[in-house]
Structure 1
Amino acid sequence: MILCLETSTTRCSAAIGWGQQVLASRALDAPEGGHAAALAPLTDELLKELHASGQELRAIAVSAGPGSYTGLRISTSLAKGLCLGLQLPLIAIDTLELIAAGAIAHLHEGGITIHPMLDARRMEVYTASFLSDRTRLSEDRPVVLSAEAPLFSEGKHLLVGDGATKASDLWPELNYEVWDEGFAPDAKQMVSLATEAFEAGSFVDTAYWTPNYLKEYVAVVAKNKVLGR
């Protein structure tokens, strides 16, 4: 079994499974920065269920980003700690590929290019492009969406994820569909991808690996005004 942790958005989720089988999963919506309090208890519940089932934990998988800096940092820290303590390998699953895989499972035809999109504030999204057989066409990248610069031209396209809403009416002359609800990245979806990675021996260095934040984190400190002085 593989323990999967996903915290790239405000949704916090964890799951344990192997292949197409999900033994147990937990998920909740955590406010910005709330993953620190939510993830460890969810994980503890799942590990207890795994112990009760008598099955063995073989690896830990974590969402590799892009996404929330705070969320990714928290799940990475927990995953690394568990890997070191239990002497298990660490698997990193690209968040945009995870979203694309979830969309592909709902497609009933081929020949469609999938563009998973994560909201990155204002008109910016994190995105990549995949064929309907999961072949990657582009690397993860931040993009500012605009009517003057379409992401594609010919062919049929699917935009999926919480950032896809921003492109709903941008390019009326192009052939694309938007799926912006029900496709938030979730740990349950990671299980099959993590199993593929495990069987291929695709592990990351537990000590030195870091998530793909795509952009440098900038901390903003608010200036507090003290009245009466």
Structure 2
Amino acid sequence: MTSVKYRLNDPGLAPRRTRMDIPGWAGERQPRANGSHEQVWHCVPFSEGAQYGIELFYPYDFEMQVTTRDGQLEITGDWGEPPSPGLQWPPFRNFGGAFYTYQILLDLKVPPGFAIRTEPHPRFYTDRTDTCPIAVPALVRNFWPMLFFCVFKAPAEGRTHIFRLGEPFAQVIVIPEEANFTVEPMSPDEAAERELQSRRIHASRPMLAKETEWVSSTDTVFDGTYRHLHRAAKEKARKS
């Protein structure tokens, strides 16, 4: 178990392991049953990916909006006086027109050999309003004692990003500092082994899908094969 410790400068809301809001940004609480509409949480790979990181929350009582109008970036909010002396205020800045920054002042301490990487919060992928902020990926190594600011992609012309109290605006994942891997073709034996695995899964689908197959409201067939194998793999890893 890897421990990630945090330190906040006021104002701030404590980060937490990312959760899926159902109902909410992750969809409605619809069963895996005939006639249900597809929800992103129905997909195990998306659900695992969405909950892999740490979500960051907007801490201010007032709503903040970032809009691109006539090619110009506009940042509006009821700023008032700075909540503490010496704090950059407002905490949002135009960054070259195509981006903007938010002074977050968050310290996330990860173990040696690890780093944190910012990325869009998973609700960005389910947002139908184009109002969810789009955090720009950035890798910060553990020798750096403070995440001073987050960078966001500016909204498209006529669009507005909205920050509201308690809403997550970005996700952080914990990864190795160095990407120590290569990309290369499989050997013939490795490729043959993977092909055999694929064929075995395909041949087993009718059995694995028994009593779990359902058809959505848009006639998409879900058979539960991945979910079955996912549970089996986790159980095997737990026992090993």
TM-score, normalisation: structure 1: 0.25
Greater radius of gyration (CA): 2
The answer to which structure has the higher helix fraction is 1
The answer to which structure has the higher strand fraction is 2
TM-score, normalisation: structure 2: 0.24
